Amino acid sequence: MIDLKYLQSHFDEASQKLQKKGVETQTLKKLQTLFVTLKQANQALETLKAEQNSMSRLFGQYKREGKDVTKLKAKVDTNKEAMVPLQEQAREAEAALQEVALGIPNFPDDSVPEGAGEEENVEIRRVLEPREFEFEPLEHWALAEKNGWIDFERGVKLAKSRFSVLRGEAARLERALINFFLDSNATKGFIEQSVPFMSNAAMLQGTGQLPKFEEDLFKIEEENLYLIPTAEVPLTNLYHDEILTAEALPLLMTAYTPCFRKEAGSAGRDTRGMIRQHQFNKVEMVAITHPDQSDAVFEMMVENASDILTALGLPHRVVELCGGDLGFSAARTIDLEVWLPGQNKYREISSISNTRDFQARRAKIRFKDGKKNRLVHTLNGSALAVGRTIVAIMENYQNEDGSIEIPEVLKRYM
């Protein structure tokens, strides 16, 4: 959650930052109104409390001196009654403020480029040159049909659209990639975790999926549980409502999990193939850091994901997201986009985000800094999305007869 004290004391400056992310002025004005309401109720309440304390002391003095306390008692009782509606008003204003604040995205870093959408993202660099084909490269779904690697029709039969079944070599390749990703992350100090594939609502609120994005989650009926949309949720929340030592930071974690998303609002996009599925596998990196460490860890995570793609021989580019394309919790995001020759375009395969203290404030993750407790910074990123890596290998390593080579680094896993 954003720092409400900062928003209140630097409202114009904070508003400008949030508008960079597309937050409407009307929402910010509503917050400002709630701030005023809460402040006025609290001030009036403090005044009555001060009067109450003063009269209570006077009441004791009267009793000791044997004076008549009838009128003073009546005043005390009247004052108490006047406090009740003000307490309720302050409580309602506080609750309303928290409700609105939970739906406000994180402040973008000052360095984040201006822009309304992905067309205005900024390319930083390209890594590896795309292969020049002597034939017309096929898209992965055509290759899947030739090789019998992916069964889209039976995936739909087993569940519904946007589900698929991997067969034979594709299933082995998926398993190989998961192990390769986890092993690669381990060389950078990420400790492997095996976590539940479900999380309760408090954990999803902690990382920012709830309450704003509930329509994109698969909820378990009659349970306070949801299928996780990413391993970021359980990994970050391992330290929910805990106070860590500064010496323990940074905490670097990685996990393989399936991810489940309804893909609400994506109707008509990537309806063919495996690019946008309701269930997909991913290996995630999560870091919990001291605020002074987060920039360095962020760069390391971007480099790690890029190194994995390079080891696989997959051409890719590194892209800085503009304000309008930043995710809800992110203060800064770097995307890695892999080259797909069948589509003749780069497509996102990893997204590395620094959320600063936004998630930590929601999830109450702190560290002991001398005598004070301070909020940590949390970071997350894919290394990598498994299904999209399979797609990239199929398209980049295809032969003219439709057969597919296996990258050298994966052969020991296969």
Point out the catalytic residue in the list 199, 351, 353, 382: 351
Q: Is residue 154 annotated as part of the catalytic site, yes or no? A: no
84 contact partners, CB below 8 Å, separation of at least 6: none
381 contact partners, CB below 8 Å, separation of at least 6: 284, 285, 301, 302, 305, 350, 351, 352, 353
Compute the distance between CA of residue 196 and CA of residue 288 in angstroms, rounded to an integer: 19
Compute the CA torsion angle 29, 34, 36, 41 (nearest 10 deg). 170
Point out the catalytic residue in the list 162, 261, 332, 362: 261
**Which residues sit opposite 375 in a β-bridge?**
366
At 316 the three-state DSSP class reads strand
Q: Is residue 348 annotated as part of the catalytic site, yes or no? A: yes
Are the beta carbons of 193 and 163 closer than 8 angstroms?
no
- Token representation of residue 366: 């702190």
- Token representation of residue 68: 């008549």
Are the beta carbons of 301 and 381 closer than 8 angstroms?
yes
Q: Is residue 57 annotated as part of the catalytic site, yes or no? A: no
Point out the catalytic residue in the list 126, 276, 317, 347: 276
- Token representation of residue 146: 């030739």
Compute the distance between CA of residue 157 and CA of residue 161 in angstroms, rounded to an integer: 8
User: Count H helices, E strands: the chain?
Assistant: 12, 15
Spacing of C-alpha 256 from chain mean position: 17
| Measured CA distances, 266 to 37, 218, 275, 352, 399 (Å) | 39, 15, 12, 22, 32
Q: 77-110 burial, b if ≥16 CB within 10 A, otherwise e?
A: eebeeebeebeebbeebeebbeeebeebbbbbbe
Burial of 305 (0-12, 13-18, 19+ CB in 10 A): buried
Point out the catalytic residue in the list 332, 356, 361, 388: 388
Question: Which is nearest to 108 in space by CA: 278, 358, 338, 288?
Answer: 358
Q: Please calculate the CA angle 181-348-414 and round it to the nearest 5 degrees.
A: 30
CB atoms within 10 A of CB 247: 8
Point out the catalytic residue in the list 131, 145, 348, 374: 348
- Token representation of residue 414: 């296969």
Catalytic residue annotation: 261, 276, 348, 351, 388
